[in-house]
């Protein structure tokens, strides 16, 4: 496992609360170890409610504040809100350019995002975010002829060293989150508008879920990822 001290990490999440659910313990762990972690939230989550009395712009505003509170718990250095509408992300040049801009601006050593290759039922925003994020990492953020106008704004090409994919069906990295599990839960429960269970019940379910692979790193709890290493 890489030494996270003084590393730059860019987390690219489809919706507010997705990163906390899939990688919150790891994000908190790396932040404690000294990494500078920036979160890019691709959608505003404005369809994330079953309450018909709440307008989309209201739930979006609520979820933005929830994400800010969660970021404080996790120890994030910055949150970037792209504000696309929920369920409307598209694999297109506009979205890809936005992610390339953030990669070149923050120059991450590591990118964390969701695995777009998950089988069967999946949220389309999850698939699109993961797919476009990987394309943005390679080759678009790397190549100077991709989006040459960025050069005029001082956004030079950048090569990411590693990508960690959460929500993968084929994990090959297991990260001990024993010491940061409570932070993961606290961060997730900052997203109160999305929580249908009590914190006590939710904690129990999360503990059961993340105990499955803990033994692989001699811990009680572990988050799982597919790790991609990029050549120089």
* pLDDT exceeds 90 at position 93: yes
Q: What's residue 232's pLDDT?
A: 62
pLDDT above 90 covers a percentage of the chain that reads 93
Q: What's residue 1's pLDDT?
A: 55
Residue 174 and residue 212 in contact, taking contact as beta carbons nearer than 8 Å: no
Choose between 196 and 112: higher pLDDT. Answer: 112
Give 186-228 pLDDT, tens digit per residue.
Answer: 999 999 999 999 999 999 999 999 999 999 999 999 999 999 9
Secondary-structure breakdown of the chain: helix, strand, coil percentages, each rounded to the nearest 5: 40, 20, 40
* pLDDT exceeds 80 at position 120: no
The average pLDDT across 60-71 equals 98
* pLDDT exceeds 90 at position 3: no
Q: What is the DSSP letter of 217?
A: G
Assigned domain for 110 exists: yes
CA distance 168 to 103: 22
71: exposed, middle or buried (Cβ count in 10 Å: 0-12, 13-18, 19+)? buried
Task: Categorize the per-residue pLDDT at 148 as very low, low, confident or very high, splitting at 50, 70 and 90.
Answer: very high
Task: Categorize the per-residue pLDDT at 53 as very low, low, confident or very high, splitting at 50, 70 and 90.
Answer: very high
Assigned domain for 2 exists: no
Assigned domain for 77 exists: yes
Q: What's residue 2's pLDDT?
A: 64
User: By residue range, what is the domain housing residue 41?
Assistant: 8-229
CATH code, domain with 26: 3.40.50.10320
CB neighbour burial string for 20-56, b if at least 16 within 10 angstroms, e if fewer:
bbbbbbbbbbbbeeebbbbbbbbbbbbebbeeeeeee
Assigned domain for 1 exists: no
Assigned domain for 67 exists: yes
Assigned domain for 3 exists: no
Mean pLDDT, the chain, integer? 95
Q: What's residue 4's pLDDT?
A: 83
Dihedral-angle region of residue 147 (phi above 0 means left; psi in -120 to 50 means alpha; beta otherwise): left
* pLDDT exceeds 70 at position 135: yes
Per DSSP, the residues of 120-151 read SS--HHHHHHHHHHHHIIIIITT-TTSSTHHH
Q: What's residue 203's pLDDT?
A: 96
Query: What is the number of alpha carbons within 13 Å of residue 156 lying toward its C-beta?
Result: 3
CB neighbour burial string for 166-188, b if at least 16 within 10 angstroms, e if fewer:
bbbeebebbbbbbebbebbbbbb
The average pLDDT across 50-69 equals 96
Assigned domain for 81 exists: yes
Query: Which of 8-22, 53-67, 111-125, 169-183 has the least mean pLDDT?
Result: 111-125
Residue 9 and residue 160 in contact, taking contact as beta carbons nearer than 8 Å: no
Assigned domain for 92 exists: yes
Q: Which residues pair with 11 in a beta bridge?
A: 39, 112
Q: What's residue 118's pLDDT?
A: 84
Sheet-wide strand order for 110-114:
78-84, 36-43, 8-13, 110-114, 162-166, 222-229, 173-176
Is pTM beyond 0.85? Reply is yes
How many domains does the structure of the chain reveal?
1
């Amino acid at each position: 496992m890489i030494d996270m001290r003084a590393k730059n990490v860019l987390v690219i999440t489809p919706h507010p609360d997705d990163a906390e659910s899939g990688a919150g313990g790891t994000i908190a762990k790396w932040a404690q170890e000294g990494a500078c972690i920036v979160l890019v939230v691709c959608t505003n989550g404005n369809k994330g409610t079953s309450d018909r009395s709440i307008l989309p712009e209201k739930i979006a505003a609520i979820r933005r504040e929830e994400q800010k509170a969660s970021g404080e718990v996790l120890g994030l250095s910055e949150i970037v809100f792209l504000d696309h509408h929920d369920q409307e992300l598209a694999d297109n040049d506009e979205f890809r350019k936005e992610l390339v801009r953030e990669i070149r601006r923050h120059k991450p050593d590591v990118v964390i995002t969701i695995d777009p290759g998950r089988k069967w039922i999946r949220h389309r925003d999850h698939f699109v975010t993961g797919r476009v994020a990987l394309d943005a990492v390679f080759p678009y953020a790397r190549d100077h002829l991709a989006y040459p106008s960025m050069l005029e704004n001082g956004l030079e090409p950048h090569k990411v060293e590693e990508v960690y994919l959460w929500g993968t069906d084929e994990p090959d990295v297991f990260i001990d989150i024993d010491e940061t599990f409570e932070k993961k839960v606290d961060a997730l429960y900052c997203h109160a508008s999305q929580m249908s269970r009590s914190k006590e019940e939710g904690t129990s379910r999360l503990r059961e879920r993340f105990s499955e692979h803990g033994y692989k790193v001699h811990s009680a709890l572990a988050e799982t990822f597919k790790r991609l290493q990029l050549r120089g």
